[in-house]
Amino acid sequence: MISENAAMNELLAFQRQTEALSSIAERLSWDQETVMPRGAVEQRSEEMAAIEAVLHERRTDPRIGEWLELAVPQTESEERIVALISRDFGRANAIPAELATEIARQTSLGQGIWAAARANEAPEDFLPTLDQILVLKQDQGHALVRAGFGSDPYDALLEDYEPGTTQADIAALFDTMRPRLVQLREDILGAPHQPAALEGRFAQETQMRLARACATAFGYDWSRGRIDIAVHPFSSGRWQDSRITTRVVEADPFNCIYSTIHEVGHSSYELGIDPDHAFTPLGRGVSMGVHESQSRIYENQLGRSRAFTGWLFGRMTDMTGGLSVPDAEAFYRTVNRVTPGFIRTESDEVQYNLHIMMRFDLERDLIAGRLSTDDLEEAWNTRFLRDFGVAVDRPSNGVLQDVHWSVGLFGYFPTYALGNVYAGALNAALREAVPDLDDSLQNGDATPATEWLRENLQRHGGLYEPRDLVERATGGPVTPEPLLAYLEEKFNGIYGL
């Protein structure tokens, strides 16, 4: 009979190898979206399927159940590790190995097919693949429900990204937020004075220099990270290797700059986790909502603040020889201008959550079978016109703009809005704790903010449940009120409302 101590040690050693293999799989995905030759898509899909088969076998290994029965945690961290392994073990066993492997294969293929279809403005080249992925994700959701993980397939999938949150919770949150966001947008768009757009074209080399400067300002650890260009910006990795990507549009340098700051937030979270949690379930972000809270507070409350944009105006002026806006105050207003636009990742703070609300409704209908992939483009365009008052002009500005569904991330989108809500609460607590923060930001130094976030949230990794973690950091319950109040105060000031 194995002893309690031996069971705990064997469980931790086994999990350490599983975490390492999972990190390798993540690196393969990074490679596919950055530097992999385009002709290697089919080979990579087989590689991803193979490693997923190995991971699924490990995650469902019967010995895990035996170790869990015998192991006696000695610390708070060990108790949480056992709880997370137990949860993952149950969910993994609910999914047939063949289904897990096929999801890995099809989503690896799907990413490449989506990228090509987006480049060619050809949704008909992608939607049949999306249909196959959708069926697999529906099967996954139903398998989880049959195993007792929720009563609805979408809720079961959502649990992978935001444990403890249901679609009913999300819907209620959105119902609370939508009226004030819509009213604020109407007031802004009806204001007599609108900030000017930034004019000109900005070379890729200049934008990447600015991106690196901004990443450095936010304390990005270049000894454990790097920046590359991808179709859709993302971050990848953990522990001692967390990488970021961005994209460059010559007429829109803010796309590159703020995508970079956003991904630095994600990456800094992973790099800020207590090293003692490495190669355990605690050694990664606890949820995508909490992850998005870091990327969004870096990008918006800090990166789009009057103080930081004042510094950015000086750097951009120095690098370009002059900008079309006359001074730092005008630049601040330009950075934060609210305009009808198609692209979620380029959206202003006021309208961003409205993009998420639309995707949330569409993907719920897809998983429930109320909407087919054949009708998805029309449904997207109809809903976008209703919500934003603009007709979608091409697929890359519509149904093909996001990578998420091509890689099977159904249930991910609402975590962006949750992240904004968490970020609103964190920003209020941060500003109270560091009242002179703007003095540092105006010098291009976000260190006081990043240190506070690392100490109060990032270092804990997966030690606490998502909402508990944010409430510990902020000292109170999480509500959308701090975010909404911040948006109203900021944009009323910019637009003179």
Distances (CA, A) of 277 to 24, 241, 286, 352: 18, 15, 12, 33
- The answer on pLDDT for 277 being more than 80 is yes
- Would you call 412 exposed, middle or buried from its count of C-beta atoms within 10 A (0-12, 13-18, 19+)? buried
Per the annotation, binding residues for Zn(2+) are 262, 266, 292
Report the alpha-carbon distance of residue 449 to residue 219 in Å, rounded. 10
Q: What is the CATH number of domain 167-495?
A: 1.10.1370.30
Structure tokens at 254: 């803010």
| Residue 118: band (very low, low, confident or very high) from pLDDT cuts 50, 70, 90 | very high
Question: Domains of the chain: which residue ranges?
Answer: 4-152, 167-495
Distances (CA, A) of 317 to 305, 310, 328, 465: 18, 11, 10, 44
Residues labelled as active-site residues: 263
- The answer on pLDDT for 4 being more than 90 is no
pTM of the model: 0.94
- Would you call 62 exposed, middle or buried from its count of C-beta atoms within 10 A (0-12, 13-18, 19+)? exposed
Structure tokens at 412: 């991910």
Half-sphere exposure of 187 (CA within 13 A, CB side): 17
394 CA to centre of own chain: 25
Residue 243, strand partner residues = 236
Distances (CA, A) of 99 to 104, 105, 143, 380: 9, 10, 10, 29
Structure tokens at 17: 């190898």
pLDDT digits (tens, 9 = 90+) for 299-358: 999 999 999 999 999 999 999 999 999 999 999 999 999 998 999 988 999 999 999 999
Q: Under DSSP, is residue 166 helix (H, G, I), strand (E, B) or coil?
A: coil
Which residues, 6 or more positions from 305, have their beta carbon under 8 angstroms from its beta carbon?
438, 441
Structure tokens at 73: 């945690």
Residue holding tokens 């609460």? 425
Asked whether the beta carbons of 403 and 111 are under 8 A apart, the reply is: yes
Q: Which of 153, 144, 158, 160 is nearest to 93 (CA)?
A: 144
Ramachandran angles phi, psi of 335, nearest 5°:
-60, -35
pLDDT digits (tens, 9 = 90+) for 179-228: 999 999 999 999 999 999 999 999 999 999 999 999 999 999 999 999 99
Burial call 183-217: b when 16+ CB within 10 Å, e when fewer: ebbebbeebeeebeebeeebeeebbbebbebbbeb
Asked whether the beta carbons of 268 and 294 are under 8 A apart, the reply is: yes
Residue 228, strand partner residues = 245
- Residue of 111 and 293 predicted with greater confidence: 293
Q: Which of 40, 48, 36, 168 is nearest to 102 (CA)?
A: 48
Structure tokens at 461: 């990794």
Q: Which of 425, 401, 426, 424 is nearest to 413 (CA)?
A: 401
Asked whether the beta carbons of 423 and 297 are under 8 A apart, the reply is: yes
pLDDT digits (tens, 9 = 90+) for 452-484: 999 999 999 999 999 999 999 999 999 999 999
| Residue 1: band (very low, low, confident or very high) from pLDDT cuts 50, 70, 90 | low
Report the alpha-carbon distance of residue 262 to residue 279 in Å, rounded. 25
Q: Let me know how long the chain is.
A: 497
Asked whether the beta carbons of 70 and 10 are under 8 A apart, the reply is: no
